[in-house]
Structure 1
Amino acid sequence: MSHRKTLLAASIFAGLCLSGALHAQDTTQTTTTSNGVGALTRSQDTAQNSGSSAANAKQLATVTVTGIRASLQASMDTKRNADAIVDAITAEDIGKFPATNVAEALAQVPGVTLDRSIPGTQRVSIDGMDPSLNVSLLDNHPVAQAIWLFGDNPNRGFNYSLLPPEILGQLEIIKSPEARIVEGSLGGTVLMHTVQPLDVPANTLSGSFGSNYNDMVGNQRPNGSVFYSWHNADKTFGVDFSAQHYEEFTSREGMENYGYSSVASVNAAAKAAGNNAIQNEINAGLIKPSDQIPNELSAANFQQTEKRNSLLVNLQYRPNQSFESTLSLLYMKDGLNNTNQSMYPWATNQPGGITSLTEGPNGIIVAGTSVGTPCYNTTTCKSTASTFSDNYARESMVSTKGVDWKGTFYGDGWRLGAQLGVSSSRNPMESFIKELYYGGGFSWNINNGAQFTNPSTANNPNYWADNGWGGNEETSLYKARDTYGQLDFGKDFDGFFNELLVGVRYASHWESQVENAFTGPQQLTLDEIGYGGLTDLSGMSALGLSESFVTHVQTLGFNAIKDAVLSTPGFGQAKDANVYFDNTWAVQQQNKAAYVQANFGNDDVHGNLGIRFVDTQFTSSGYNVPGYCASADTFDCNFGPGFGWVTSNTSFTNWLPAANIAWNVTQDFILRAAASETVSYAPYNQLAPYFEANDTVLTATAGNPDLKPYRSANFDASAEWYFNSESVFAASVFYKDVLNYIVNAATYQDRVNGSWTLPGYLQSEGNAQIAAGLCTTSGICQYDVTAPINGGRAKVKGATLSYQQAFGDSGFGARANYTYSDARTASGGWLPYNSKNSYNIGPYFEKGPYSASVSYNYRDDYLAGGYVAGAPSTYVDGFKELDASAGYQISKNFSVSLNMLNLLNAKYYAYLGSKTQLSEEYVTGRQFELEAHFKF
C-alpha cells in the first residue's frame, strides 16, 4: 500500500512536469438567465443602447466570476432573476468544486442524481425521471451522439462524459417548461452555454495541464486544454476557440451474476446426467424446487483507456446595433477502447457435477459445489464442471462534428432571429472475443464468489483453452444525425404584458445501426493466444471476494485477443446472417413545432404564458425474417410478402400549454408557481423492429415501433429566500401525472437460437441447454424477452430543499440540498432511476490564495436497466460518494488545483427482487486529478 501512495505522488509530479498541453479555465464567464434562450438573445449593452427597458430585455449579460463565492453568487442570481423554476452552474463551479466532467458538476444541483454503473458518469436524472426523459442543448441546439460501448442500451439521455467542460460558460437546468423551449423533456431541460468572443476581453488566453490517477489500477494519464478569445477594437467581430486533450484510464472490478434458474429445472438436467444429489437435498427438505440458483457468478474486470480530443470555435459578428450573427464549429474524437474479462464458474451449465446446494433467505441458493476434471492442453475438454473466461477486446472511436449558425435582426422594439445547423456522430465499433474453458471443480458462495478446488491447476495456463467455440468478431456501425432550423420573432409592448414571442421549428433526428458477426476463428490454447500472468485485482479484494476471483489467469490483453481472432487463415469471410438481420435497424424522428408565448411583469409579479404545438412523425425500419431463414442462418433467403426490410410509420400531435409566475413578496423573498403539459419519447432503438439476443443465457431485448410518446401534466411551486447577496434558502414541490409511461415487459418466446449452427456452439453451450430442457435438438429455445410496451399512467411527486450561505469574512461557506421523490406506475412498480431520497452536503473554504471544498452525495435505492441484452432491470442499492478539492492561487496568472473523487471507493451493488438476490457489485477506485492553471 505504501508503494501505491509513492507511485501516486510520482505519477502526478511527472504528469505536471512532462505534459505540455494546456487547459482552459476562463474566469470571465458569460452568465445568462433562463430567458436568454434561442435566436433572440444578445448582449446587455446592445439592449440598453437600442432603448429597450431592463424589464423587457431578457438578454445575455457579461459577469466576471473569480472564485467559489463569486461563482455561487452568479449561479444564484440566474436562479433569482428567472421567470421559471431554474437552477444554474457557472463554469467556475466545475473547476472550483470536485468534478472532472459536466455530470459531476450537475450533481450539486437539487433534484439531480447520477448513475455510476460505469466509470465516467453518463446518466443524469432530474427530479427522479429517467435520464432519457431529459433534453440537453448546447447553445440551444442538439448534439448528436453515437453510443460508445458495444452492446450498450442506447438512450436519449445526454452523455456528458463525451463533452469537455472547458467549452462551457454556464449551465441552466430548467425544471418548469416554457412554450418557447424545445419539447421532449419530462424531467428537466439542461441548457449549456459556451463563452462568446465579444463577451470577454480581447486576447484572453487561459488553460491548464495536469495528470489524473486512479489508485485501483495505479495508472496516470495527462490532460490539458487551452482557451483563446480575440475581438477587434470596435467589438464588431470576434473569434474564440477551446481545445482539449484528455486521457483517463479507468477500471471497474467486481462480481456479476447472469440471471437465476429454478432448482426444479437444474435438478431435471442433473438427473438426466445421472446425478441425484439435488433430488436428495430436496427429499431431505434442505432446499425447495422453487428456490432460485445463480447461473454464473463472474469475476468481472472492465478496463478502458479514453483519449479525447475536442475543438470548439465560435465566430461572432455584430456590425451594428441592428444585427448580430454567430457561427459555431464543433469537432470531437473520443477513443474509448476497452477490454472486459468475465471469468465465471458455471454450475448450471453442467449440473451433472453438482454435489451440494445451500438455501439462504428469500428462496435463494447461496452456495454450492461442483466436481470436475481439468484437461491439459486441449481444445476438446469434457468435464462435469465448466468455467468460462470471456475475453472481450472492443474498439470504439466516437467522432462528432457540428455546424451551427444563428443570427438576429433588431428593430425598434422587435427582434427576428433564426438558427439552423447539423450535428452528426458515428462510431464504427469492433468487438473481438475469445472464450476460454477450464474443467476443474469449484465451490461458490453468493457473497464471496467462487473458489477453485485445485488452484494449482486453475492458475496454470496449460489447463485453459477454447473448447468447441473459438469466439468471433462483431462490428457495429452506429450513426446519429440531427438537422434543425428555427425562426423566432419577439415584440415588446408597454404595459403588464410586455413581450410577445412566436416561433416555428423543424428538427429531424436519424439513428441507425448495422451489425455483423464474423465467425469461425480457430480454437487456441491460452498460451497460443498469449498468457498474461495472474491477475491482482485489488478491487475484488476490497469487496471480500474469493482468492480465485482476485487471482486467476488472464490473456496478454487487447492486442492478444484481437490478433488471436484475426489470425485464423481466411477469417472474415463467414458472416452470421441472424446477427445482421436481428440487429440492423434505422429510426427517424421528425418534429414540426410552433409556439406563442406572452411574457408579463411589473415590480412585483413576472412570468409567462404560452402554448406549443408539436407534430411528430416516426419512421422505423428493420428486418422481419421468416423462421425458415433464421433456422438456416443464411443471407440466401427468399423473403415473402411482409418479410425482409420493413418500415412502419406513426405520427402524433400534441398541444403543450405552459405557464410560469413569480411573485416578489419582498425584495428578498420570491414565490413561484408553474403548470404545464410536456411530451417525451422512447429511446430510438426501442422504436425499431429489432431483436438482440444473448444466445448463451437465452435472454433478449426487442423493439416496439408502436410505442406512444410519454405525456405528462406537471405542477411546480417554489419559495426562495435570499437572505444576503451570497445566500439563499429555497424549497420546491413538483408533481407529474404521466398519462403514458413506457415500461419493459418480460415474456417467454420460442425462437431459433441464432448461434446453433456456429462451429463448436453445441459442444460448449448447446448440449447443456438441451439437457436443461431449454432448447430442442433443432435449436428452438425459450428466450426470456424484454420489450417496451405502453404502460399506462404513472405519478411522480416530490420536494426539494436547498441552502447556500457564505459565513461572513471567515472564508467558510456551505451549500446543501435534499430531494424527496415518490414515483410509481399505476400498477405500483418503480420508475427507472428514481430514488426516493437523495442529498448533497458541500462545505467550502476560500480566503486569500487558498480554496477547498468537500462534497458528500447520497441517493436511495433505484431501478436501473439491465446490463446485457435482455437482462431484467435491476435495483441499485443506496450509493454514497465523498469528493474533495483544493486549490492555491500562486499569482494573478497561475494557480494549482487537486480534485479527489470517490474517496470512499463506494460499492455499486445491484440486485433482483430482494437485496439477497445479487445481480452485480463493483468498485471503481479513487480518482485524483492535479492541474496547473494559467490565465493572461
Structure 2
Amino acid sequence: MNHRKTLLAASIVAGLCLSVGAYAQDSNTQTSGTTPTTGTTNSDNKPNAKNAKELATVTVVGIRASLQASLDTKRNADAIVDAITATDIGKFPTTNVAEALAQIPGVTLDRSIPGTQRVSIDGMDPSLNLSLLDGHPVAQAVWLFGDSPNRGFNYSLLPPEILGSLEVYKSPEARLPEGSMGGTVLMHTLQPLDLPSNTVSGSFGANYNDMVGNSRPNGSLLYSWHNDDKTFGVDVSAQHYEQYTSREGMENYGYSSVASVNAGALAAGNDAIQNEINAGQIKPTDQIPNEVSASNFQQTEKRNSVLINLQYRPNDNFDSTLSLMYMKDGLNNVNQSMYPWATNQPGGITSLTEGPNGIIVAGKQVGTPCYNTTTCNSSANTTMDNYARQSMVSTKGADWKGTYFGDGWRLGGDVGISTSSNPMTQFNKEIYYGGAFNWNINQGAQYTDPSTADNPAYWADNGWGGNEETILYKAKDSYGQLDFSKDFDGFFNELDVGVRYASHWESQVENAFTGPQLLTLDQIGYGGLSDLSGARSLGLTQSFIAHVQTLGLNAIKNAVLSTPGFGVAKDANVYYDNTWNIQQQNSAFYLQADFGNDYVRGNIGARYVHTANTSSGFNVPNACSSADTFDCDFPAGFGYITQKSTHSNWLPAANIAWNIQPDLILRGAASETVAYAPYNQMAPYFESNDTVLTAAGGNPDLNPYRSVNFDTSLEWYFNNQSVIALSGFYKNIINYIVNAATFQDRINGSWTLPGYMQAEGNAQVAAGLCTAAGICQYSVTAPVDGGHAKVKGATLSYQQAFGSSGFGLRANYTYSNAKTSDGGALPYNSKNSYNIAPYFEMGPYTASIAYNWRSSYLAGGYVAGAAPTNTASFKELDASAGYQISKNFSLSLNMLNLLNSKYYQYLGSKNQIAQEYVTGRQFELEAHFKF
C-alpha cells in the first residue's frame, strides 16, 4: 500500500512539473471546422461575417492558443456551444475523445468498462446525443457479447489524432440533423488544404496498467500534401493502438426473498432458516443476494485505423472532399466469474445474518467437495463461468461533400455510406466446486477448506459442459443531403434551406452450439491461482484474490471445440429469441433564417422529419419453445414477423445572442427535439440468462422521445483565454422511454440441455423459481413509453490564464435535477458534477491535472437482462506531463485514474450491492514528432 501512495504522489508531482508533447497545431495553422458545420451545410469555408469581432491580438502557442481558439468558437456561435481544438485533445490528460469531452461543462462519463464509451450531456442518457464525423454518421456494431446497444457514439474507437476540432451544440439549430436531446457533437478531421504541404506528424509509445502489470505499444502517423496552387490535396492518418485492461471486483446477480429460499430449505429437510425466522433474527421479507461473485474481466485491444481525405478546390467557387475510413478493432476478452451460490442449494444453509434495510449481509453454507468427477452432488454450489470471447469490429466508410459558392449564394451536397460488422464468438466452460464456504456482502466468500478449493482436481464440469455462441452483428448508415443558402442585406442576412435522407439498418443473428464433453479443470487447462490486486484493494477475501483459473482464451475455446462432432447441435430458442433486424428511415426538410447586427444575432427556423421504422423478429408458439426445436410449424401470426410504424414531427428552433457589452453576451434558445430508443430496444427479441433467470426484451411499439427545450447563458469574456459563463437548461420531455422490470413466466430455454437439470434446474425447482416442466419466473427488463419527464439544471464554468505566469485554470460545475412524472430517476443523470483542471505552460514545459467528480446516478448494467442499477458517486484524478525537446520532437506522459477509484453499483439501498470494480491506473508515455 505504501508503494501505491508513493506512486500517486510521484505522478502528481510529475504532472505539475513536467509538460505534454507538442502534437498540437502551430498557432498560425488553420484548423478545419472552426466554423460550426454539418457536412456540406452552407457554412463550409466561408467567413462568418455577421459574427466577426475585433479581438485583441494574441500571440501564444500550445495550450493557451488552443483554449483561445475554443473560446472564439464559443463566442462567435449563434447557439449555445462549447468547443475543443486539437491541443485540448492532445495536451490534457486524455487517451480518447470522450476523455477530452469530460472537460466541457455539463458533460459526464460512465466508466464501467475501461476505454470510455458512454458520454452524457446536460444529464441526458448517452443514447440521446448525436455525434457526427465531418457531418456524417459512423455505423457501429456492438463489441461486447451480451452488450446492450445504444445510439451513443463509441468515442474509444476514434483515434484523437485525426481530429482538428469539435463542437458540442447544447441548443439545436434547424439545420442540424434530428435525433439529439442532450447535445449534438460535431467532430472535424484535419483537411489537407488547411495544412502545410508535406506535413508529417505522429507519435509512438506505450501504455501501462499498474493493476495488470502489462504494457502495450501504440503509434500514429499523419501525412498531408497539396500542390503548389493549393487546388488539390490529400492527407492520410493511420494509427495502431494496443491496450491491456482488467476489471476486477465483485458482482451479484439479483436477490431472492428469505421466504422463497426457506421454502426450498424446508423441502430439503433443513429448518435452520425457519428457526432464525421464529427467533426474530431474520424476516421472511428480507432479501438475500443470490451469489457474491469474484469477477475478473481481462481484455487485449488491438486497433488499426486509416482515414484518408482527398480535397479538391480548383477555384474560389467550388470545394469538394472525399473521405475514406477503414478500421479494425480487436477486442478479445476473457470474463471469469466465480460465484458461490447463496440461494442455489438452500439445503446447505446453516445461518443467515440480517443487516440494514432488510438485506441479508452474511451466511454460511456446508457442503462436501467432489474429487476428480463431472457428476458432483453437494449441498454447496460454487459455479465458475469461464467466457472466452473473440470480437473483431470492422468499420468502413466513404463520404463525399461538395459546395459551390455563387454570388451571394451557396449550394452544397453530401452523400455517404458507413458499415460496421462484428462476428463475435463466445466459448463457455462452467466448472463446479462443492465445498463449504462463508460469505459476506462486503468481502465476498471464503472457502472453509482452502486446500481443496485451491486444488484443480476438485473443479470440473458438472452435468453441463458449456457451449459456443455466435453473434453476427451488422450496422449500416447511408445518407444524402442537399443544402442551399442565400445571403441578404439587412437584419435578416441569410436564408438556409435543405433536405436530408438517412437510413440506418441494424441486425443480429445469434446461434448457440450445444453438447461439449464434460471435462475436469486439469483437462481444460489449469492456469494456477489468480493474483487479483484489484480484489485486494477492495478488501475482498483471500478466496476471491487467489483462486483457481483456466489457462485463458485458447484453453477454454479448445476445450469446447475438442468434442468429437461438436458444432452440429444448435439451440433453437437462442436463435429465435435473439435474431432480429430493424431499419429506420428519416426524411427531413429544414428552413432557417439567420439574423444579426452589431448588438444582436441568431437564427430561427423549423425542421420537419418523417420517420419510418421496420422491425422484424421471431414470434414462436409455446409448444416450440418447450421442445426447443427448429422442427416447428408456425401458424398464422407466428414465425419471422415484421412490424412497421411511422412518425412525423415539426421541430422549431430559435437562438438569439445579445451583446450587452463587447465582452458580455446573453443568449437564449427555444426548441423542440426528438430522439429515438436504441435500435435493439425497438426489435422483438428476448435475450435471457437462464441460470439467474434475468432477461432483456424489445418493444417495436415504442414512440420517439419528444421534448420542448429552453436554454440560456450569460458569458463574460473578461480577458484573453478567460471566461465566466452561467447557463441554464430546461427540458420538458413529453415522452420518455424507460426500462421497466417485470416478472414473466416463460419457458427456460436451457431446460432440455444435457446436464442442465443436475447443474441448475433441480435447484431452481426446489427454490420455487421454476416448475418441473421448465416454466420459470424471469425478471424481464424491457423498454416502455414512460410518460412525461422534466430536466432542469444549470452550469457554471470558469476559465482563466493568469497573465505571464504560465498557470491557468479551467473549472465547471453542473446541477441537473431530472425526474419522470411518477418521481423516477432518469438514467445517467447525476444531480451534481464538477471538474477542476489547472494547467501550466512555460517554455518547453507544460502540465495539467484534471479532477472530475459526479454524484450517484441510475444506470443499467452492460449485460443484457441486468436490472437497472444505481451507480454511486465517482471521482477521477488524471494528469499529463511532458517536455518539448526541440521544434520537431517532444515527450508526453498521460496518467489516468490515479486514485484507482471504485465503480460501485447498487439496487435500492446502498448496502444492496449489484457490483463493484476497479480498473487500475493507466500510464501512457509517448514521443511525438512533427515536420
User: TM exceeds 0.5?
Assistant: yes
Aligned ranges 1:162-311 → 2 under 5 Å = 162-311=157-306
Counterpart position of 1:441: 436
Cα gap change, 1:501 to 1:917, in 2 (>3 Å): same
Give the distance between the partners of 1:300 and 1:29, measured in 2 at CA: 48
Give the distance between the partners of 2:532 and 2:840, measured in 1 at CA: 37
Counterpart position of 2:584: 589
- Letter of the 2:159 partner, please give it: P
Cα gap change, 1:261 to 1:803, in 2 (>3 Å): same
Aligned ranges 1:889-928 → 2 under 5 Å = 889-928=884-923
Per-residue Cα deviation, 1:727-770 (whole angstroms, up to 9, x for no partner): 00000000000000001122211111000000100000000011
3-state secondary structure, aligned to 1:883: strand
3-state secondary structure, aligned to 1:349: coil
Equivalent of 2:627 in 617, 629, 632: 632
* Contact residue 598 and residue 608 of structure 1 kept, 8 A: yes
Counterpart position of 2:99: 104
- Letter of the 2:75 partner, please give it: R
3-state secondary structure, aligned to 2:308: strand
Counterpart position of 1:12: none
Counterpart position of 2:425: 430
Q: Which moved more, 1:866-875 or 1:202-211?
A: 866-875
* Contact residue 24 and residue 227 of structure 1 kept, 8 A: no
- Letter of the 1:425 partner, please give it: S
Counterpart position of 2:881: 886
Per-residue Cα deviation, 1:879-927 (whole angstroms, up to 9, x for no partner): 0000000111001111000000000000000000010100000000000
Give the distance between the partners of 1:328 and 1:751, measured in 2 at CA: 49
- Letter of the 1:659 partner, please give it: A
Percent sequence identity is 78
Aligned ranges 1:363-762 → 2 under 5 Å = 363-762=358-757
- Letter of the 2:736 partner, please give it: Y
Equivalent of 2:65 in 44, 50, 70: 70
- Letter of the 1:934 partner, please give it: F
3-state secondary structure, aligned to 2:557: helix
Aligned ranges 1:770-781 → 2 under 5 Å = 770-781=765-776
Counterpart position of 1:867: 862
- Letter of the 1:775 partner, please give it: C
* Contact residue 418 and residue 485 of structure 1 kept, 8 A: yes
- Indicate yes or no: 2:839 matched with 1:844: yes
Counterpart position of 1:32: 33
- Indicate yes or no: 2:320 matched with 1:319: no
User: Which TM-score applies when normalising by structure 1?
Assistant: 0.96
Give the distance between the partners of 1:923 and 1:23, measured in 2 at CA: 32
Counterpart position of 2:347: 352
3-state secondary structure, aligned to 1:857: strand
- Letter of the 2:268 partner, please give it: A
How many Å apart are 1:869 and its aligned residue?
2.9
Give the distance between the partners of 1:737 and 1:7, measured in 2 at CA: 47
Cα gap change, 1:42 to 1:614, in 2 (>3 Å): closer
* Contact residue 664 and residue 717 of structure 2 kept, 8 A: yes
Give the distance between the partners of 1:163 and 1:112, measured in 2 at CA: 18
* Contact residue 37 and residue 135 of structure 2 kept, 8 A: no
Per-residue Cα deviation, 1:586-623 (whole angstroms, up to 9, x for no partner): 00000000000000001110000000000000000000
Give the distance between the partners of 2:273 and 2:41, measured in 1 at CA: 73
- Letter of the 1:669 partner, please give it: L
- Unmatched tracts of structure 1, length 5 or more: 9-21
Cα gap change, 1:186 to 1:25, in 2 (>3 Å): same
Give the distance between the partners of 2:378 and 2:769, measured in 1 at CA: 21
* Contact residue 291 and residue 363 of structure 1 kept, 8 A: yes
How many Å apart are 1:41 and its aligned residue?
5.3
Give the distance between the partners of 1:549 and 1:35, measured in 2 at CA: 52
3-state secondary structure, aligned to 2:343: helix
Structure number with higher relative contact order (C-alpha < 8 Å, ≥ 6 residues apart): 2
Give the distance between the partners of 1:40 and 1:203, measured in 2 at CA: 29
CA RMSD, aligned part only? Answer: 1.7
How many Å apart are 1:35 and its aligned residue?
3.7
- Letter of the 2:38 partner, please give it: V
3-state secondary structure, aligned to 1:564: helix
Cα gap change, 1:34 to 1:614, in 2 (>3 Å): farther
3-state secondary structure, aligned to 1:378: coil
How many Å apart are 1:7 and its aligned residue?
12
- Letter of the 2:606 partner, please give it: I
Give the distance between the partners of 1:469 and 1:412, measured in 2 at CA: 75
Counterpart position of 2:18: none
Q: Which moved more, 1:30-39 or 1:697-706?
A: 30-39
* Contact residue 193 and residue 226 of structure 2 kept, 8 A: yes
3-state secondary structure, aligned to 1:76: helix
Give the distance between the partners of 2:774 and 2:283, measured in 1 at CA: 30
How many Å apart are 1:710 and its aligned residue?
0.3
Counterpart position of 2:125: 130
Give the distance between the partners of 2:398 and 2:293, measured in 1 at CA: 45
Give the distance between the partners of 2:255 and 2:438, measured in 1 at CA: 17
How many Å apart are 1:301 and its aligned residue?
0.2
Give the distance between the partners of 1:867 and 1:779, measured in 2 at CA: 27
Give the distance between the partners of 2:36 and 2:849, measured in 1 at CA: 32
Cα gap change, 1:771 to 1:65, in 2 (>3 Å): farther
Per-residue Cα deviation, 1:512-571 (whole angstroms, up to 9, x for no partner): 000000000001000000000000000000000001000100000110000000000000
- Letter of the 2:553 partner, please give it: F
* Contact residue 33 and residue 81 of structure 1 kept, 8 A: no
User: Which TM-score applies when normalising by structure 2?
Assistant: 0.97
Give the distance between the partners of 1:6 and 1:661, measured in 2 at CA: 52
Per-residue Cα deviation, 1:667-688 (whole angstroms, up to 9, x for no partner): 1000000000000000000000
How many Å apart are 1:216 and its aligned residue?
0.2
Cα gap change, 1:736 to 1:905, in 2 (>3 Å): same
* Contact residue 26 and residue 935 of structure 1 kept, 8 A: no
How many Å apart are 1:726 and its aligned residue?
1.2
Give the distance between the partners of 1:43 and 1:352, measured in 2 at CA: 72
* Contact residue 23 and residue 206 of structure 1 kept, 8 A: no
Give the distance between the partners of 1:31 and 1:162, measured in 2 at CA: 21
Work out the number of aligned pairs and report it: 913
Give the distance between the partners of 1:652 and 1:859, measured in 2 at CA: 36
* Contact residue 81 and residue 171 of structure 2 kept, 8 A: yes
Give the distance between the partners of 1:765 and 1:25, measured in 2 at CA: 57
How many Å apart are 1:866 and its aligned residue?
2.5
Give the distance between the partners of 1:262 and 1:682, measured in 2 at CA: 33
Equivalent of 2:114 in 109, 112, 119: 119
